[in-house]
């Protein structure tokens, strides 16, 4: 319990300390005109109140990531608490806040366009394809996971039927102006998500559960040799620690923020809130099943289904009524993230092709192929989709971190806040390629880590050359 409470306190304190420090580094100015005022179009560029934007951003970035990922990551043991806490503070929330400020100061453009301004035209083209791929993967993941949960709640309606129902909703929500459904309904869902987390926290604190302490770095996975903590834990728990998906969602709110001083609560605050949700779910998953080992065994007996664990935990800790309410919160999060994933994909394509989004017909033309591909992906095994989504997600976060490094250099501000996380995540993503059976699956772990390190060093050298060139250009 002590480890959990300490991590929880650190996350909350970080918003008022490290978050404020980053705000000073970024030079947030309440007098600066934001995109929603300058580029108002009544569709995507629409000013919204800060409290509403915060709740929408939290829902957009959450999905099932800080829930499913935290449950699966908890199988590694209490070390998951450390990654969620320190990753959330120094990587995820920093990534979300500084990239969010970049977006606000670049007209709220989609992330590939903004990254291209800092990492070059080649990376812009790569990011356009890579980001759309990630967003369609996210849309597919967030079609399947709520459909599975809803099929458990309402067995009379099959999972495929729920997929079609959710897909129809996605299509409508993606086409409509942001203030019609997202701006009105999502804050309610945001409150439900927060209430669900608080309910589980209460059950943890007062329900007699024993939360494991951080006394060992042992790996509690059933087959620990095939999924080493480094780098697998850092890929498994993405949302809740650091997630590239967030940078694809932030343009939606960057187009609605009233002034730059709101960005700390909207971007840094939403990410810290997501880390708190992930921390709670990791703790309750271990406590409910008698420890990380018990959680691993229970998941192994049920096909590693995080959806099954959510259903079991919610009903077991909060009772039937509370369990249903908690499940509805869990269902709302992925549905809202799924439709904004498709919305973000539409904006990326529209920005890339310079297609005016005031026209409903033009929005329709972009959406049709996106939803067709997304539905096709739902026909693939969920575990396969989730695994590739997780690595793609963290790779995108790494690219955005490097863009933030360049942004900070050009501002002549503290580059280290982004540089160290960028190097770390580059190593994690590179070494995962050599370690994981999804890619090369090398049995010689030392060789795999050395190759990951070599790839990281190569990226670092290339970026140092770029940073030196940028420094020279800024002085000339």
- pLDDT one-digit tens code per residue, 179-221: 677 777 777 777 877 888 888 899 888 888 899 998 888 898 9
Q: What b/e sequence results for 237-258 when a residue is b if at least 16 CB atoms lie within 10 Å of its CB, and e otherwise? A: bbbbbbbbbbbbbbbbbbbbbb
Whether the Cβ atoms of residue 114 and residue 248 lie closer than 8 Å to each other: no
Does residue 465 sit within a domain?
A: no
Residue with tokens 């329900």: 207
Residues of the chain with pLDDT under 50: none
Please report, in angstroms and rounded to a whole number, the separation of the first and last CA atoms in the chain: 56
Instruction: Give the C-alpha separation, 309 to 304, whole Å.
Output: 9
Determine phi and psi for 238, rounding to 5 degrees: -100, -75
Query: Residues 336-384: pLDDT tens digits?
Result: 777 778 888 888 888 888 887 777 778 877 878 887 887 787 777 666 6
Contact 80, 233 (CB under 8 A): yes
For residue 226, count other CB atoms closer than 10 A to its CB: 13
Q: What is the pLDDT of residue 348?
A: 86
pLDDT in tens, 223-264: 888 889 999 999 999 989 999 989 988 998 999 999 999 999
SS3 211: coil
Cis upstream peptide for 231 (omega within 30°)? yes
* Domain-embedded: residue 415: no
pLDDT given for residue 306 in this prediction: 81
* 475 occurs within a structural domain: no
* CB-CB neighbours of 10 under 10 Å: 17
Would 368 be classed as within a structural domain? yes
Number of domains in the chain: 1
What pLDDT is attached to residue 473?
A: 66
Q: Is residue 442 in a domain?
A: no
Asked if residue 471 belongs to a domain, the reply is no
Q: Side-chain half-sphere of 436: how many Cα atoms within 13 Å?
A: 21
Structure tokens at 375: 């539905």
Query: Looking at the domain assignment, is residue 27 inside a domain?
Result: yes
Query: Each residue of 436-462: b (16+ CB within 10 Å) or e?
Result: beeeeebeeeeebbebbeebbeebbee
CA 70 to CA 414: how far, in whole Å?
31
Q: How far apart are CA 271 and CA 267, in angstroms?
A: 6
CA dihedral (305, 289, 228, 7) in degrees, to 10, reads: 110
Which candidate, 284, 395, 295, places its Cα nearest to that of 76? 295
Q: What is the pLDDT of residue 11?
A: 98
State the Cα–Cα distance between residues 153 and 204, nearest whole angstrom. 24
Domain with 264, as residue range(s), is 2-385
Domain harbouring 32, CATH code: 1.20.1740.10
Taking CA atoms, 344 is separated from 127, 159, 325, in Å, by: 13, 26, 29
> Residue 160 falls within a domain, yes or no?
yes
Distances (CA, A) of 132 to 92, 350, 371: 21, 12, 12
With beta carbons less than 8 A apart as the criterion, state whether 288 and 209 touch: yes
Cβ neighbours for 398, distance < 8 A, ≥ 6 positions apart: 244, 422, 425, 426, 428, 429
pTM listed for this prediction: 0.89
């Amino acid at each position: 319990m002590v480890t959990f409470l300490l991590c929880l306190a650190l996350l909350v304190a970080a918003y008022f300390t490290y978050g404020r420090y980053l705000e000073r580094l970024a030079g947030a100015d309440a007098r600066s005109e934001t995109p929603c005022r300058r580029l108002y179009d009544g569709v995507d560029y629409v000013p919204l109140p800060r409290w509403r934007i915060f709740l929408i951003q939290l829902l957009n970035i959450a999905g099932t990531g800080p829930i499913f990922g935290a449950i699966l990551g908890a199988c590694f043991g209490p070390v998951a608490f450390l990654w969620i806490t320190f990753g959330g503070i120094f990587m995820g929330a920093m990534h979300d806040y500084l990239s969010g400020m970049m977006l606000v100061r670049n007209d709220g453009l989609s992330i590939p366009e903004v990254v291209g301004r800092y990492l070059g035209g080649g990376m812009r083209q790569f990011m356009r394809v890579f980001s759309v791929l990630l967003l369609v993967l996210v849309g597919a993941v967030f079609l399947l996971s709520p459909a599975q949960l809803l099929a458990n709640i309402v067995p009379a309606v099959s999972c495929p039927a729920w997929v079609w129902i959710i897909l129809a909703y996605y299509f409508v929500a993606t086409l409509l102006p942001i203030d019609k459904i997202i701006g009105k309904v999502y804050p309610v869902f945001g409150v439900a998500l927060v209430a669900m987390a608080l309910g589980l926290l209460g059950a943890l604190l007062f329900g007699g559960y024993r939360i494991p302490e951080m006394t060992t770095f042992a790996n509690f996975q059933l087959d620990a040799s095939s999924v080493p903590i480094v780098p697998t834990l850092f890929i498994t728990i993405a949302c809740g620690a650091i997630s590239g998906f967030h940078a694809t969602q932030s343009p939606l709110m960057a187009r609605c923020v009233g002034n730059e001083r709101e960005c700390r609560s909207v971007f840094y605050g939403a990410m810290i809130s997501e880390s708190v949700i992930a921390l709670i779910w990791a703790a309750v998953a271990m406590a409910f099943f008698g420890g990380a080992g018990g959680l691993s065994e229970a998941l192994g007996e049920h096909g590693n289904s995080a959806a099954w664990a959510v259903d079991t935990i919610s009903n077991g800790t909060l009772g039937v009524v509370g369990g249903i309410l908690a499940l509805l919160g869990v269902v709302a999060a992925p549905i809202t993230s799924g439709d904004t994933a498709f919305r973000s994909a539409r904006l990326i394509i529209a920005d890339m092709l310079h297609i005016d989004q005031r026209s409903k017909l033009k929005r329709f033309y972009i959406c049709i192929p996106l939803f067709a591909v997304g539905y096709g992906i739902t026909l693939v095994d969920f575990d396969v989709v989730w695994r590739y989504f997780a690595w793609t997600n963290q790779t995108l976060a790494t690219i955005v971190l490097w863009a933030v490094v360049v942004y900070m250099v050009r501002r002549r501000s503290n580059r280290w806040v982004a540089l160290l996380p960028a190097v770390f995540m580059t190593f994690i993503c590179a070494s995962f390629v050599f370690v994981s059976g999804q890619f090369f699956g090398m049995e010689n772990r030392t060789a795999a880590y050395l190759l990951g390190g070599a790839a990281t060093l190569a990226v670092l050298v290339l970026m140092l050359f770029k940073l030196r060139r940028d420094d020279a250009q800024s002085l000339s």
